[in-house]
Amino acid sequence: MNLSKVDLNLFIVFDAIYTEANLTRAGQIVGITQPAVSNALARLRETFNDPLFVRTAQGMVPTPMAQNIIGPVRNALSLLRVSVQESRIFN
């Protein structure tokens, strides 16, 4: 996977879907519409060649691939948040 071709904002959506198990609530957290979340999920599915989440009566259940990558995704997002916060301190 060529990281320069991946929209890193998709990982924010991925984390929200994983946390909420619901596309509408994930969109509310991220500040985008449910159709935009669906579009982001479609792009993530294409990127990872995996469904990532399966719709069930309990909500969006993560696939083994999603379970495998959530830790590294959250770590990366945390590092980015810290970097942005620190840059504000110096400005």
Q: Are 66 and 52 in contact (CB under 8 A)?
A: yes
pTM of the model: 0.90
Task: Kindly state the DSSP code that residue 3 receives in the 8-state scheme.
Answer: G
Q: Is the pLDDT of residue 39 over 90?
A: yes
pLDDT band at 79 (very low <50, low <70, confident <90, very high): very high
State the Cα–Cα distance between residues 52 and 36, nearest whole angstrom.
Answer: 17
Of residues 28 and 84, more confidence is placed in 28
Q: Would you state the pLDDT for residue 50?
A: 98
Q: Can you list the domains of the chain with their CATH numbers?
A: 3-90 (1.10.10.10)
Residue 31 has a CB neighbour count (10 Å cut-off) of 9
- Chain-centroid distance of CA 56 in Å reads 19
Q: Is the pLDDT of residue 91 over 90?
A: no
State the Cα–Cα distance between residues 72 and 21, nearest whole angstrom.
Answer: 19
Q: Are 17 and 26 in contact (CB under 8 A)?
A: yes
Q: Would you state the pLDDT for residue 88?
A: 65
